[in-house]
């Protein structure tokens, strides 16, 4: 949808471009070195990866740089900023800058989900998790610089200050008001 919206904004249709399916090599998940030292929590895997510089997280960039593709679409402005920081890639258009928010279909915010089984069989866990998320959001709103430092380890912003700039005006408390 994001690609279609970009084309529409520029007077084009899908017939004006050639879409290329690009395989995503995710075999690094099976790399035994990623499991040493032993992990206490599977999320530790992400803390061990240099996602800001690891092309496994930005595989289309390499295809663009080697001429396999003429243009790429990505759904996060921060990812594009990392690409631009290489000095070899330039963003053409950012849907986040469009005044009609409905054009931003592939942008975040993040969504909190759980399975129907968890919700039905363990509603107390859902409530405990949401209470924790609310508390984290309240803390992050009061401590934006510290939150930027923490979130920088998991985002595609350039650095902690850039992460802070990206979140400083964002209400970090989960909300149901847009449903």
Looking at residue 175, its pLDDT comes to 79
Q: Looking at the predicted structure, is the pLDDT value of residue 54 above 80? A: no
Q: Give every CB contact of residue 50 below 8 A, 6+ residues apart in sequence.
A: none
Query: Is omega for the bond preceding 37 within 30 degrees of 0, making it cis?
Result: yes
Q: Is 0.75 topped by the overall pTM?
A: no
Over residues 10-24, the pLDDT tens digits come to: 999 999 998 887 776
Mean pLDDT of 2-12: 87
Residue 133: predicted pLDDT? 92
Mean pLDDT computed over every residue of the chain: 80
Q: Which two tokens stand for residue 175?
A: 């909300």
For residue 109, pLDDT beyond 60:
no
Average pLDDT over residues 74-102: 76
Comparing 18-27, 119-128, 138-147, 150-159, the range with the smallest average pLDDT is: 18-27
What percentage of residues in the chain have a pLDDT greater than 90?
26
Kindly state the tokens that stand for 104. 């931003």
Between helices 160-167 and 144-152, what is the axis angle to 10°?
120
């Amino acid at each position: 949808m994001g690609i279609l919206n970009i084309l529409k904004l520029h007077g084009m249709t899908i017939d004006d471009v050639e879409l290329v399916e690009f395989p995503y090599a995710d075999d690094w998940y099976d790399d035994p070195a990623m499991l040493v030292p032993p992990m206490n929590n599977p999320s530790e895997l992400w803390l061990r990866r240099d996602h800001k510089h690891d092309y496994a997280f930005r595989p289309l960039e390499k295809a663009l740089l080697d001429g396999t593709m003429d243009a790429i679409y990505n759904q996060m402005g921060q990812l594009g900023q990392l690409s631009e920081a290489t000095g070899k890639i330039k963003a053409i258009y950012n849907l986040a800058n469009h005044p009609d928010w409905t054009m931003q279909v592939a942008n975040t915010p993040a969504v909190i989900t759980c399975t129907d089984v968890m919700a039905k069989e363990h509603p107390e866990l859902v409530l405990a998790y949401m209470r924790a998320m609310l508390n984290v959001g309240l803390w992050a709103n009061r401590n934006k610089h510290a939150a930027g430092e923490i979130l920088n380890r998991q985002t595609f912003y350039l650095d902690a200050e850039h992460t802070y700039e990206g979140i400083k005006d964002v209400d970090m408390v989960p909300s149901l008001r847009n449903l």
